[in-house]
Amino acid sequence: MRIEVATDRFYLSRFYSEAVEAAGGAPVHISLIPKVEYIDSVVRHLDGVLLPGSDSDVDPLRYGREPHQRLGSVHAIKDETDLLLITAAERRGLPVLAICFGLQVLNVSRGGTLIQDISSQVPGAIKHEQGVPRDRASHKVVLAEGGRLRDIAGSNEAIVNSHHHQAVENIGSNLQVVARASDGLIEALEDPRPDRFTVAVQWHPELGWKDDRFSEKLFQTFVAEASSFKLRCEQDTSPVTA
């Protein structure tokens, strides 16, 4: 979820839910209530977690930096809820798909840092804030060999949309880089542990899944992993019969 500060509303773009549902999942929205008890009560009933984008930036104090002049708005309630959700998902070993801000807060949760403003901090960077139409694929990413994303794409590169002014700087623990843009900026991270499905992308596959096979397959893979997680849990709790 996001928060609209001016009206005190929680909200989320329809495209995330539609993409999950089309892939066979049942989307559930989690309110921005940063309380451990609430998050745990919701997560125990989930089979996977999608961390969506946001119109806010992660508070740089959370990764040991002072605010840059071009830092965007910071919503503490968003940061705190997402960080609690990531912790709870990790505890259960839930499949995780993180998108844009979701990638950034995931990286911060694991001790990583962020570039606070690409255009003023990265000389020679390509345009990463494409504007409208938002679903248009605007730049290429190179997908690393051995990564899940490369398997999903069936190729060593893809063309993606781009709507971010921040990027990963130093990667956090149990994460590896699996995609970069032509300017070298990190475009995707994955958890390499074999018992985890954690895939994080800097672009927005929820915007293009109807027309882009790579985006569609990413959601299908995420939902399939969630279904497998559910099945394993059911098998682990099944009574033993003689």
User: Which residues participate in catalysis according to the annotation?
Assistant: 100, 204, 206
Q: 74 near 57, Cβ under 8 Å?
A: yes
H helices of 100-183, where?
A: 101-109, 118-121, 148-153
Q: 202 near 193, Cβ under 8 Å?
A: no
- Mode of pairing for the β-strands spanning 186-190 and 176-181: antiparallel
For residue 201, give the 3-state DSSP assignment. Answer: strand
Q: What value does the CA radius of gyration of the chain take, rounded to a whole number of Å?
A: 18
Q: 50 near 20, Cβ under 8 Å?
A: yes
- Mode of pairing for the β-strands spanning 186-190 and 198-201: antiparallel
- Whether the CA torsion 76, 81, 86, 91 is positive or negative: it is positive
**Whole-angstrom Cα distance, residue 90 to residue 40?**
12
